[in-house]
Amino acid sequence: MTAYVARRLLLLVPTLLALTVLAFLFVRALPGDAAVAILGPNASAESIERLRETLGLNLPLPQQYGEYLAGLLSGDLGTSAVSQRPIAGEIGARLPATIELSVAALLIGVPLGIALGRFSARRAGSAADATSTVVAVVAVSVPVFVLGLTLQYVFAVLLNWFPAIGRVTNSGAEERITGFVLLDAILSGRPDLLLDGLHHLVLPAVTLAAVPMAVTARIARAAYLAESRRPHVRIALAKGLAPAKVRRDHIAHNSWPPLVVVIGLQLGALLSGGIITENIFGWGGLGSLVVSSIRTRDYLVIQSGLLVLALIYVLVNMAVDVVNARIDPRLRSAR
Amino acid sequence: MTPELISPAVARRTGVLHTALRTPGAVVGGAVVVLLLLVAVAGPLLVPHSPTEPVPGGLAAAFAPPSLDHPLGLDGQGRDVLSRMIAGTRLTLAVGISAVLVGALIGTLVGAVAGSVGGVVDNATMRVVDLLLAFPSLLLALGIVAAFGQGRTQVVIAVGVTTVPVFARLVRSEVQRQTGLDYVSAARMYGSGRGRILLRHLIPNSAHLIVVQATLMLSTTVIEVAALGYLGLGPADPREAEWGSMLTEATLTMRTEPQLLVWPSIALVITAVAFNVLGDGLRHAVEED
Amino acid sequence: MQDRKSRPRGRLLVVAAVLSLALSACASADSNSQSQSSEPVDGGVFRLATVAEPAGLDPALVFDGDSYRINAQIYETLVTLAPGTTSEVVPALATSYTPNEDATEWTFQLREGVTFHDGTPFDAAAVKFNFDRWKNFPEALQSRAELYGTVFGGFGDAGILESVDVVDERTVGLRLSAPRPDLPITLTLPVFSIASPAALQEYGADEVDAASSEFANEHPVGTGPFVFDSWTHGDRVELVRNEDYWDEPAHLDRIVFKAISDAAARLNAVQAGDVDGADMINPRDVEAVTANSSLQLALRGSCNSGFVAFKSDQEPFDDPRVRQAVSHAINKEAIVDRFFGETGEPAWLLMPESIPFHDDSLENPEYDPDLARELLAEAGEPNPVVDFWYPTDVTRPWLPDSQGIFQAIAADLEAVGFQVTPRSATWTAYLQDSKTPAYGLFLLGWSCDYGAADNFYGGAFGYIDSAPNPRYQYTSDEFVAALETAQVAPEDQREAAWAQVQRIVYDDLPVVPFVHGSSSLAFSTRVHGYEPNPVLVEHLDDVWLSD
């Protein structure tokens, strides 16, 4: 197991390098010039040229990339052209919000999806199965902005059950330690703030959970069905083991690995959906930062934002593989 | 050609439809898809009014409630909503299908090459494909539209590219599986080149899988297009009827005119469910076959 | 505001006018628009949902409305606008000022007993420090501090600000190399906020290379009624009451500015009670706000116009008959009715009626599609094929629904024979690219910085380095001459001079204005004393919350 983890970590190095290359090239492919973006359209040609030199934009691409990489390694992501703040700080400030929301959405969507998927699998072919399949498809086919705004209007405005926006009530009494609202509440021993944070989390997390819920349900159903048709399950049942025990010990256990993989892959969808969800619920995370940077042509922020999002994705998926390898030893040699 | 060289999947193909038609869900889904396609094709003949021109009176008639002449009422520009819904079927499906086609085409090519060449090429290509997966698709699409400007073609390409990894992975694994099959070895023994085998056998024999996957991806692309529109990077001509743009437009007046949000949402859901159920049915048929 | 980057630089005022604008005594802002029935209560947290985060809290370097409003609480200017007005200058940090005869030397008498939030005293040296800082901005900061360049005709010695002299502790003299009779109203601009010299130095406000000035992010220090507390990037800015304010301390304990870009979500938030106020309400939702007994609406009034703009040097728009055709083709009333409701008025001049010297004798060109068709035929262009541009991701008082308004205007144009190809871009790109020839026909607007004819006409169409504004390519010697005359006309001739400017632009039609729009805010009924202002300099020290 240790060797496996070590190998995975080693493989991470070329992956990360490739990520930086992609992010770097992606931004170079965008039209316009970072120097013009910083100085504005009225800047003189000389001052643009001077800034291009300062930023190293006049160097050949490989050399630019080298300097970019060197900066990365020393933790310097550059400065935002719009806010004039260091990008590392900008991203760091928004990251906790995005992570909190994504994790919450997974915690809601995945168990619900598994439950729904197993429910259909056990009744495969029945009307109940068809209904839950349709429910899952509906959940992915309503655009997230329609779902979010509707949930907000119904549950925050009409029913007033949940807050419409924000991560906390903004009473001015919150203490910022880690940037994670829930964690900060626990660290500062404030159960009231914890409840407040959870209360705020419900609507955006449910909005964002719709897609993972649906996808998980689909995979869970398929995995469960596939497992239940395998020989060892049939033998266990033939031996006279209680069906409930067989379901728990054999089918459920072995249907985990594909599920775990899907949960990892879901992260991409989560981070995408998060962009719009963050917008609607005043969440202020990383996704909305990248979107506003694309609009304002803030190239360095786009580059770093993309890099960080991709990094999260890669790391989580590596963790997924490791977890899976624990569950299913066969996978350790497979990759 | 000797009989051995007939690919197994060719013989299989006819059976798949039969199997699929045995699942009631797939039948209903298939029927709805056919209906949608019919509406898309015949749309211009079916619309009671112009979907893009306001009724006489124009803006003054905006948001008129349903009437006999306009069963779903008028939209914010004074256009007939029913006509826009009908005409929108064509554009919505066209955009979604073209995007999927873009993704399927590139993905198939990449996956087939990686799968049949193998070795370093395979490793490197698939790593890049995996990395593409690591960038959130909406952001990728946003970036592409930002780079190439706003317009329908750009949107189609942007959304299409985000589906490349799915197709690439699928085709690669299928190609790898088939490479081990007897008929491929036989073809090779008869002296067929790698490219020929790829084009004549491996890709055609993966076609059914690609079609199934494309059916399943369709609703995803349609919704992604709508999301781009919401973020202000959608197709440039909002006058054309397309369900996603209609939704974006409707969010601005969702308080006062919620009905404008309802119709396109229902249409999107029906389309998605139909294509998914059909796709599922086809997939099961393929797997069982 | 939207168009600020195109402001002409280096246009100077040539002739002097004798001014005697001695200021009246301190005008206390106590015109409470919402409810005057009860006594103000102290305390409470006021949460306002804004459209965007501020760009920064160094007032000299930002010019977006959301920064303006926050900075207006932390900082003060020498003089400011009376609450709710765009052109009435009242004292703030200066109690009075006197110009010399030709408006080249200005003496400001400073208020006593004012201290910055960091405890350092506000005095003549502090004022001099700030003016010197602006004047000597390093080049990299100059493009971010453009309004200084506009008012003083350039930075350093290129500008007309010769020197700032400390006469005594309470008296400051500004010496100009050319007259600027309207200096007082320009000094109400938030970019001329006086910041603490100690904090500016300590927190590296001008260090360009570090670029992330600590001052603008973590330590903005002014003299205003509220003190900076915290800025959670991507989320909110919080201010607390300045207990040592030189005037009556503010009622509120704390203000939270929370950024929510989606208009529907902002309204949901105020209605659900998560915030106490929401900015930029969609005009379609105004009725929902007024009909709701737990909400109240505040209209800002208009200091702007939305228009269809041309490149006047491009075919087919170089033919005045084509521009006139556009003007007669657009059904302004219908557009205003549908997209603005109570929050807009049809427009035909660049500036709304409330601006001094507005020419009431000019009338709205009639909506007449037949005439438009005739004009196109006369011009030999019965069916001009045109690209028509609109921005996609922006909300402005003059453009609450860009896609909707675009479609309505495009339909009007097609009805008279134009063949329109829609083109769109996101706002930042749009502003930059609309200066290029690709944008022959496009939607744009002008929001004022303060309510004066010069800010509209000089700002939009004044020449930059003796060339027309590239955005419009409006070339007219007659206009330039009339503008220069009006800018320095003696008081008794100003009305006629500005009428002349308006008449020329009205006839030439470099743009076709269609609306003077007003943005609005929704408040819970707990909120009292919020005085809205179209230039967004809104002082919140009189805001209080009931119960």
Whether C539 and C482 map to the same domain: the answer is no
Q: Is residue C172 part of a domain?
A: yes
The residue among A294, A307, A316 with the most chain B CBs within 10 A of its CB, best to mutate, is A294
Shared domain check, C315 and C452 = yes
Question: Is residue A64 classed as helix, strand or coil in its secondary structure?
Answer: helix
Quick check: C29 contacting B, CB < 8 Å?
no
Tally of domains within chain A: 1
Q: How far is A44 from chain C (nearest CA, A)?
A: 10
CA distance C56 to chain A (A): 7
Does residue C534 sit in the same domain as residue C497? Answer: no
What digits encode the pLDDT tens for the residues C122-160?
999 999 999 999 999 887 778 777 788 878 888 888 888
- Which residue from B232, A94, A154, A282 is spatially nearest to C262, judged by alpha carbons? A282
User: Which residue bears the tokens 């859901």?
Assistant: B269
- CATH superfamily, domain at B28-43+73-288: MetI-like (1.10.3720.10)
Distance CA B9, CA B4 (A): 12
Q: What is the CATH number of the domain that holds A216?
A: 1.10.3720.10
CA distances from A233 to A66, A243, A244 (A): 56, 10, 12
Structural domain for A160, as ranges: 87-334
Subunit contact A156:C212, Cβ cutoff 8 A: no
CA neighbor of B260 nearest in space, from B240, B245, B239, B273 = B245
- Whether residue C169 is predicted with pLDDT greater than 80 in this model: the reply is yes
Burial class (CB in 10 A: 0-12, 13-18, 19+), A13: exposed
Contact B143 A306 (CB under 8 A): yes
**Which pTM does this prediction carry?**
0.83
Assess C406–B contact: CB distance below 8 Å, yes or no.
yes
Interface of B with C in 185-244 (CB under 8 A): 231-234, 236-239
Predicted local distance difference test score (pLDDT) of residue C16: 29
Q: Which of A141, A146, A317 sits opposite B261 (nearest CB)?
A: A146
Is residue C180 over pLDDT 70?
yes
Phi first, then psi, for residue A278 (nearest 5°) are -60, -40
Q: Is residue A119 part of a domain?
A: yes
Rg (CA), chain A: 24
Is B231 in contact with C393 (CB distance < 8 Å)? yes
Start-end of H helices in chain B: 8-22, 24-46, 81-117, 119-134, 137-148, 152-161, 164-179, 182-189, 194-197, 203-230, 243-251, 259-288
The pLDDT confidence band at residue A82, using thresholds 50, 70 and 90, is: low
Q: Does residue A33 fall inside a structural domain?
A: no
In a domain, C387, yes or no: yes
* Residue A317, in any domain of the structure: yes
DSSP assignments along C170-216, one per residue: TEEEEEESS--TTHHHHTTSGGG-B--HHHHHHTTTT-TTT-S-HHH
Nearest to B236 among C267, C337, C422 (CB): C422
Q: Do the Cβ atoms of C393 and B253 come within 8 Å?
A: no
Q: Which residue of A has its CA nearest to C57?
A: A83
Q: What is the pLDDT, as a whole number, of residue C211?
A: 47
C528 & C386 share domain: no
Q: What are the backbone dihedrals phi and psi of residue C361, each rounded to the nearest 5 degrees, phi first?
A: -80, -15
Question: Is A5 part of a structural domain of the chain?
Answer: no
The total of other beta-carbon atoms located within 10 Å of residue A276's CB is 25
Confidence band for A257, pLDDT divided at 50, 70 and 90: low
Beta bridge partners of C391: C425
pLDDT for C109 beyond 80:
yes
Six-digit token string for A40: 């504005």
Domain limits, chain B:
28-43+73-288
pLDDT tens sequence across A29-46: 665 566 665 555 555 666
Order of strands, sheet of C385-391, starting from the edge strand that comes earlier in the sequence: C344-346, C511-517, C304-310, C441-447, C385-391, C419-425
More confident residue, C27 or C507: C507
Domain total in chain C: 2
Q: What letter represents residue B75's amino acid? A: D
Alpha carbon A93 to chain centroid, angstroms: 16
Q: Is there a domain that residue C296 lies in? A: no
Q: Is the pLDDT of residue C210 over 70?
A: no
Q: Is the domain of C8 the same as that of C118?
A: yes
What are the structure tokens assigned to B242, written together?
């397309």
Rounded mean pLDDT of C260-273? 90
pLDDT at B7 over 70: no
d(CA C472, CA C484): 19
B53/C422 touch (CB, cutoff 8 Å), yes or no: no
Whether A310 and B261 lie within 8 Å, measured CB to CB? no
Best of C239, C260, C266, C267 to mutate (most A CBs within 10 Å, chain A):
C260
Query: Which residues of A fall below an 8 Å CB-CB distance to B?
Result: 14-15, 18-19, 22, 26, 29-31, 130, 133-134, 137-138, 140-146, 149-150, 153, 265, 268-269, 271-273, 275-276, 287, 290-291, 294-295, 297, 302, 306, 309-310, 313-314, 317
Q: Within this chain, do residues C365 and C483 fall inside the same structural domain, yes or no?
A: yes
Inside any domain, residue A273? yes
**Is residue C131 domain-resident?**
yes
The fraction of chain C above a pLDDT of 90, given in percent, is 62
Structure tokens at A2: 């240790």
Instruction: Take residue B38 and report the two structure tokens written for it.
Output: 């019919």
- Tell me the residue range of the domain where C358 lies: 304-517
Please report, for the domain that includes residue C44, its CATH number: 3.40.190.10
C68 and C175, same domain (yes or no): yes
CA–CA separation, C206 and B13 (whole Å)? 72
Q: Give the closest residue to C129 by CA, choosing from C172, C91, C160.
A: C172
Q: Which of C261, C396, C407, C412 to mutate to test the interface with B (most CBs of B within 10 A)?
A: C407
pLDDT band at A174 (very low <50, low <70, confident <90, very high): low
Of all residues in chain B, the one with the smallest CA distance to A32 is B147
Is the CB of residue B252 less than 8 Å away from at least one CB of chain A?
no
Q: If you compute the radius of gyration of chain C from its CA atoms, what whole number of angstroms results?
A: 23
The verdict on B143 touching A (C-beta cutoff 8 Å) is yes
Are C456 and C533 in a shared domain?
no
